């Protein structure tokens, strides 16, 4: 009887540890790398160069790079990746980086097979779950005065709606968030490894390959979410109104990307309205 109780307690303890890790870290720890993965990662580590951003980079009179997205600061991904992260495609990077304001990295890049994930709003500052509601897609802020020249009694005010970048749609498995945070022990260990100099290339390459093995370099296509038939995310369950749902599923920018797939293809603005 005692041995049976101890066995149950041991199982509960193991289960608790596994759940504490989260599905992504569990997958990383169970990854068996191939030699091809190791060599590819080693090549990337050897070729890596630190990127130094120029603080006041701008092209007069209207192009100016904004500040780094502070809401990504708690994500493990930004231990290495830039904020904002999408840089390769000149045509789509602005649209993709806009998504980082309300979509966690793992929502697009962690797509395990034969695993049923759920999606919830999370406050990335403390990892708490946020109750779904329509305002999460656009948060109302203080009413601003639109016409200051009018008499006070005729002052026109209107609520301005903005995105709260700290609230992100995040994947969950068994009620636990998938992603790692910057204060995680695995994250701290990775940072220390990267700070080592000299002969740590092999270890860095191994760690880099393991981190990326469960992830997909390219996220799902725009149509995965921006469609009416079988969207990746249940936006209504996440709090979207029928109006928000219709606008997201029939987004004109994603329709443009689906028609004009060639990066070099030039179009006229009138074509966007078709």
Q: What share of the chain is helix, strand, coil (3-state, %, to 5)?
A: 40, 15, 45
pLDDT category at 267 given cuts 50, 70, 90 is low
pLDDT of residue 233: 93
Length of the chain: 274
Calpha distance 129→270 (Å, rounded): 43
pLDDT of residue 212: 95
131-161 as b/e, with b when 16 or more CB fall inside 10 Å?
Answer: ebeeebbeeeeeeeeeeeeeeeeeeeeeeee
pLDDT 10s digits, 84-133: 888 888 888 888 888 988 899 999 999 998 899 999 999 999 999 999 99
pLDDT category at 156 given cuts 50, 70, 90 is very low
Residue 75 per-residue DSSP state: B
pLDDT over 50 at 13, yes or no: no
Q: How far is CA 254 from CA 50, 181, 242, 274, in A?
A: 33, 30, 19, 13
pLDDT 10s digits, 195-239: 887 668 899 999 999 999 999 988 898 889 998 888 999 999 999
pLDDT of residue 78: 86
pLDDT category at 163 given cuts 50, 70, 90 is confident
pLDDT of residue 83: 81
């Amino acid at each position: 009887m005692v041995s049976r109780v101890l066995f149950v307690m041991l199982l509960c303890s193991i289960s608790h540890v596994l759940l504490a890790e989260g599905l992504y870290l569990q997958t990383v720890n169970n990854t068996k790398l191939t030699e091809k993965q190791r060599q590819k990662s080693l090549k990337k580590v050897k070729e890596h160069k630190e990127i130094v951003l120029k603080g006041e980079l701008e092209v007069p009179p209207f192009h100016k790079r904004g500040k780094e997205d502070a809401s990504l600061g708690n994500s493990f991904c930004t231990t290495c990746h830039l904020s904002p992260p999408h840089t390769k495609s000149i045509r789509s990077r602005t649209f993709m980086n806009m998504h980082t304001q309300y979509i966690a990295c793992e929502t697009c890049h962690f797509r395990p097979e034969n695993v049923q994930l759920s999606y919830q709003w999370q406050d990335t500052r403390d990892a708490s779950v946020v109750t779904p509601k329509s305002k999460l897609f656009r948060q109302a802020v203080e009413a601003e005065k639109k016409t200051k020249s009018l008499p006070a009694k005729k002052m026109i005010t209107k609520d301005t709606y903005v995105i709260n970048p700290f609230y992100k749609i995040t994947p969950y498995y068994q009620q636990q968030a998938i992603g790692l945070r910057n204060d995680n022990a695995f994250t701290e260990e990775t940072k220390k490894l990267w700070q080592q100099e000299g002969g740590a290339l092999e270890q860095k390459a191994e760690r880099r390959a393991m981190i990326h093995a469960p992830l997909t370099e390219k996220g799902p296509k725009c149509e995965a979410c921006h469609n009416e038939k079988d969207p990746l995310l249940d936006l209504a369950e996440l709090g979207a109104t029928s109006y928000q749902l219709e606008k997201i599923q029939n987004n004109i920018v994603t329709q443009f990307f689906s028609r004009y797939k060639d990066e070099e293809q030039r179009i006229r603005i009138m074509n966007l309205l078709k």
